[in-house]
Structure 1
Amino acid sequence: MFETLLVIFIGLVGGIAVGLQAQIAGSMGGRIGGAAGSLIVHLGGAVASLALLIFRSGENISEWRHLPWYMLGSGVLGLVLYLTLSQTIPKLGATSAITLVVVGQLAVGMVIDHFGLFEADVRSIDFQRIGAVAMLMAGAYLLLR
């Protein structure tokens, strides 16, 4: 039970981080441009990741050569997210922009789970999951109105 609560807490912390970064990214993109802001964000993340990697004794970094191409290129998705936020937040506000990101995450998450893409465990789409997503989409709709 404690482990489940800890994982839920970690997920919420991640959501808070995304929410904070979204607004910061939107503001920064408006001031210096999307690509320039993305570079700053990613350089800061690279420095923090390097520090954590050193602290964790390198983990398994030497195995990077054996990763599939899509894993090596996944940083591009961070750029897409950043550029998306730098365009949507100034025009729609943080709540609407983050809502759209969450709806997109739900849609792709369902597809990834259903087909077991990218080494994910298969979690088939069923009526309960469809209902849950429908309720979240209804909430998103109310937020975007």
Structure 2
Amino acid sequence: MSLLHLYRLPDEPWPLPLPVIGSTLSAGFPSPADDHLDPPLDLNRHLFRHPAATYLARVRGNSMLEAGIHDGDLIAIDRALTPRDGHVVVAVVEGEYTIKRLRQQGPRLWLEPANAHYQNVEITGDMSFTVRGVVTHVIHALPPTC
């Protein structure tokens, strides 16, 4: 899956405080709504722990569907985090950007898609390979129902 556009966050992101409903929302049976709001939540502080090391990118392709990452989604990539086995990462393999789950078992390293129609990418010593960062958040719109 290739990434089309990379967006760098400003060094000092502006505050983005939004109101937060004070109670959790039921995804099962409805419950009476509280009229209580918690203090505003600054989405920039909530989503971007390391703003100077964080980029946004738009995803193209569907190799990560089963991880909840869809074509057209916006992802946050944190370069300050150390990539570990099981992390979803943005990597450059042979000059091509890709987003996959990083897997490591002993010295063996591979990138694993989250879609059965795609194969693992085994990383060998003769390949050009760099991890550009760890994906920390996915932003995607829900499709309209009508």
TM-score normalised by structure 2 residue count: 0.20
TM-score normalised by structure 1 residue count: 0.21
Q: Which has the higher strand share?
A: 2
